[in-house]
Amino acid sequence: MIITQSPRCKSLRRNGFSLLEVLAVVMLLSVLAMVTVPSVVNWQQKLTLEQAVSELQLQASETRNESVRSGETWQLNLIPARHEGFRSLASTQQKLKPFRIHQEVRCLRVSDTGTLLPSELVQIRFFPDGTVEPAVLQVSDAKGNSLYLLFDRLTGRPAVRTTLLSSRS
């Protein structure tokens, strides 16, 4: 005589995961989270810093173009404490083109010796011939990540650097 199991007995035997299997999956997911979360947070902070530098590059380029187009000296003005800036004619100082700087970054001017110059107002002048006064800006976040925006005085174009070079033109 052959004894067969009913279909009901088979379904009762394996109807879920064991506690050991569930714990193994939970442990694996927690290890993955511990590895990836810091990387994602760091990536977001660097992205914020890069976006702020990109916005400053755009504003500098537009200020230079405005100076060349109008034949007058223009300024890029940054107010670090209020996270804002504006473009203006150098002769009037009137806020003509305001813009915002990301809240999580700070922007300071760097002196010729490489020290930071805390200031309520950072001004960079662009001249009608397309040149700019020599300037270096440090853009940094709360974690201490920094990028430097160096302005080429002959072309007026900003370049991004990760370190401040000792010799600048």
Q: What is the pLDDT of residue 166?
A: 52
125-144 pLDDT per residue, tens: 999 999 999 888 888 888 88
Domain annotation for the chain: domains and CATH numbers: 18-161 (3.55.40.10)
- Residue 111: both structure tokens together: 């002196």
CA distances, 110 to each of 48, 117, 140 (Å)? 21, 6, 12
Give the residue from 154, 155, 127 showing the smallest Cα distance to 66. 127
In this prediction, the residues of the chain whose per-residue pLDDT falls under 50 are 167-169
Q: What is the pLDDT of residue 167?
A: 46
CA distances, 135 to each of 49, 89, 117, 152 (Å)? 19, 18, 12, 8
